[in-house]
Amino acid sequence: MLTRPALSQMLADPAVRSRLERTRVYEVLQPGQQPLTGVSATPVVTFSSVAGLRSALAAGALPPGTQAVLYDPEAWPYTPPDEQRDPVAAAAQAAGLAHARGLKIIVSPALDLTTVLAPGSPAPRWRAFLDLGIVGSMARVADAVEVQAQSLERDPATYAAFVRDAAAQARAGKPGVTVLAGVSTNPPGAAVGTQQITEAIQESQPDVDGFWLNIPGPGPRCPACPAARPGVGAAVLSDVL
């Protein structure tokens, strides 16, 4: 998976474009965005609230060709507090709305939900997240689960351990569910290198069905992000595709 801006950046590199044309790509769109033209990618529209998804479906606002929506609950202003407190119930609502329209649903719960659900936990955030069982519970209503593991990619071994356990939890909740893992060119904290991201992908590849490569830049949803690093993304794709 790649967001629309990230996909556009990657397609600008002819070598990477050639590699992407040989794999299945999901183009993640914000509500109101249209897919890139002339690109063989499956549109997926992302929502951070059930109300946003409900409104878009009622208005017929999804682009033609959309096959799936993504529900992305996080501990941030874009997800209502009640959904942060019970993200599993919210995911079930989102899944019901999507399935009623013949759409698949991807759920992508953020690790920072632990700040709401397990405040003060002495465990590392990723371990507390697993202990809450969010991935397994959400998988029961979803077609795919995306594990937001990108904050761990500086330590590929820890990244792979978390992804492995989260994938196992998801498949225990729903055998056969699709599992994706997130990587990022700009995870929170110190800069990460191409080799670290590549190693994180390679070490966890046997446990997942695919990856979401994030290439974030500064903006309302990531005010602390440094400038986007598309060159790192292109290098990673050249290494792993």
In this structure, the number of other CB atoms found within 10 A of the CB of residue 188 comes to 11
What residues contact 225, with CB distance under 8 A and at least 6 apart? 186, 216, 217, 218, 219
Question: Residue 190: its pLDDT value, please?
Answer: 85
Question: Residue 189: its pLDDT value, please?
Answer: 83
Amino acid at 199: E
State the DSSP code for 36. P
Question: Residue 218: its pLDDT value, please?
Answer: 86
Over residues 187-216, the mean pLDDT reads: 95
Q: Which of the residue ranges 106-110, 132-136, 179-183, 217-221 would you say has the lowest mean pLDDT?
A: 217-221
Q: What is the CATH code of the structural domain delimited by 2-240?
A: 3.20.20
For 51-91, the pLDDT digits (tens) are 999 999 999 999 988 999 999 999 999 999 999 999 999 99
Express as a percent the part of the chain with pLDDT over 90. Answer: 91
Q: Is the pTM of this model over 0.85?
A: yes
At residue 41 the predicted structure's pLDDT band, cuts being 50, 70 and 90, is very high
Question: Residue 225: its pLDDT value, please?
Answer: 84
At residue 230 the predicted structure's pLDDT band, cuts being 50, 70 and 90, is very high
Question: Residue 33: its pLDDT value, please?
Answer: 94
Alpha carbon of 175 to those of 100, 108, 139, 172, 225: distances in Å?
Answer: 22, 18, 9, 6, 36
For 169-197, the pLDDT digits (tens) are 999 999 999 999 999 999 888 889 999 99
**Is the sign of the CA dihedral 76, 128, 236, 194 positive or negative?**
positive
For 135-172, the pLDDT digits (tens) are 999 999 999 999 999 999 999 999 999 999 999 999 99
Question: Residue 221: its pLDDT value, please?
Answer: 86
Residue in 170, 115, 125, 59 with CA at minimum distance from that of residue 47: 59
Average pLDDT, the chain: 96
Rounded to whole angstroms, the Cα distance separating 177 from 84 reads 23
In the chain, where the domains are located: 2-240
Over residues 201-213, the mean pLDDT reads: 98
